Amino acid sequence: MIYIKLSFQPPEGSAGCANACFVRIRKGKEGDKGLLAHELKHVEQFWNDPIAHSYRYRFDKHYRLDCEVEAYRVQLYTPHPRLSIEDRREMYATWLSDPSSVTGYGLTLTKKEALRLLS
């Protein structure tokens, strides 16, 4: 897998983002291995189907949910120096289930559903 880490900031309110093979990590979050693993999973998803992935991620909420759950599972099982796996699962479920969240996922699922998907 090839990826390019850019020094440009990700969108406001986001710690990181991946666009095709480009990964942007917010200054101060560079050492977050879970975040990098999450974004690299998105790069892998892109390379699995470069033509369709970007379109489907943007316009197909079911596909976007599948991609984010897959990336958050990778992030969840990457050791974190301060947060337990339970705390992270709770946090990621909140982000996935909040349609007004700064993450901008725009998904419509309950926190209970998000917790089930991340288990």
Q: What is the pLDDT of residues 14-59, one digit of tens each?
A: 889 998 888 989 889 989 999 999 999 999 999 999 989 999 999 9
**CA–CA separation, 99 vs 110, rounded Å?**
10
Asked whether the beta carbons of 86 and 94 are under 8 A apart, the reply is no
Predicted TM-score of the model (pTM)? 0.88
How confident is the model at residue 44, as a pLDDT? 96
Domain boundaries, the chain: 31-118
The dihedrals phi and psi of 14, each to the nearest 5 degrees, come to -110, 140
pLDDT of 61 higher than 60: yes
Query: Residue 60: how many CB atoms within 10 A of its CB?
Result: 13
Q: Kindly report, residue by residue over 62-84, the tens digit of the pLDDT.
A: 999 999 999 999 999 999 999 99
pLDDT of 102 higher than 60: no
Q: Which residue has the tokens 């990964």?
A: 23
